[in-house]
Amino acid sequence: MSDIKKAKSDKFRDDTGFKEKCLLDRRSFLKWLWIALGGIIVCELFWLVYTMIRPDAATRTQEEKKILALGQATQYQSGTVTAVPAGKLYLARTVEGGFLAMGRECTHLGCTIYWDKMEQRFNCPCHGSAFALNGGVIKSPATRPLDLYHVFIENGIVKVDLGQRSRRSDVNNSQAVFI
């Protein structure tokens, strides 16, 4: 019995190849276990912090379900732009008569644009970008057209779904909604 023990411990001590042959002995296994457990704790900590500081999901979805009714479609003239402060957007009616609802944030760095009636374009006061009535870029530094909200017409009334906002890379006629 004691011989066996001695032989084992001798092997442990003398045979230098032992450690390499055996992928994990008890000590290094426990060491790695501790490191892994520590890693898991750190991950959990980050997860905990994340759940606390992320934007509150409940209030956000509530807001996004909002649908704005903007009155009779016929009251809007072709080639005009109407500000809708309640939805933070502009409702534009193209020359062809299609409706576009566009976010009022400049796509460059998010400043609030205004509609310049004289020049017939949206101007950004911060960094000088300009957009056409259909939202297309006519002056950089902005690189992409204004974001679109989903517009639909129900019983002759223009409605905008504030929950459905999309980016677009170019401007075309199919984006406008007709009566």
Partner 1 sequence: MKFILHLHPPQLPVEACHFRRTFGLGGSALVLFVLLLMTGMLELFVYDPTVAEAYPSVQQLQQMSLGRWVRNIHYLSAQLIVVVSFLHLLRVFLTGGYSGVRRGNWWIGLVVLFVLLCSAFTGYLLPWDQLSFWAVTICSKMFEYVPLIGAGLQQLLFSGSEVGPATLHNFYILHTIFLPGTITVLLVFHFWFVRKARGVILPQSHAGQPEVRSKVPSYPDLVFREAAVALNLCALVLILAVFIDAPLGLPANPGMSPNPVKAPWYYLGVQELLIHFQPLVAIVIAPCCAALFLFLLPMTRLKDHEAGRWFVSRRGLSGAVIAFAIALLSVPALIILNSVVPFPFFPAWIGHYLLPLGGTAILIGGAVLFMRRMAKMTQAEIVLVLFVFFATTVVILTITGIFFRGAEMALVLPSWMAL
- Quick check: 116 binds partner 1 (CB under 8 A)? no
Residue 93 burial by Cβ neighbours in a 10 Å radius (0-12, 13-18, 19+): buried
Rule CB under 8 A: say whether 43 interacts with partner 1. Answer: no
Stretch 117-146: interaction string toward partner 1, x if CB under 8 A = -------xxxxx------------x-x---
Contacts of 135-144 with CB under 8 Å at 24 or more apart are: 135/92, 135/100, 135/102, 135/168, 135/171, 136/170, 136/171, 137/107, 141/108, 142/106, 142/107, 142/108, 143/107, 143/108, 144/107, 144/168, 144/169
Binding test (CB under 8 A) with partner 1, winner from 67, 68, 84, 111: 111
Nearer to partner 1, 7 or 83 (CB): 83
Q: Binding residue for partner 1 (CB under 8 A) from 2, 55, 69, 118?
A: 55
| The two three-digit tokens of residue 120, written as one number | 């017939």
Site for partner 1 in 62-101 (CB under 8 A): 85, 88
Nearest distance, CB of residue 105 and partner 1, angstroms:
8
CB of 8 to partner 1, least distance (A): 42
Count the Cβ atoms, other than its own, within 10 Å of residue 102: 26
Chain contacts with partner 1 (rule: CB under 8 A): 50, 53-56, 60, 85, 88, 104-105, 108-113, 124-128, 141, 143
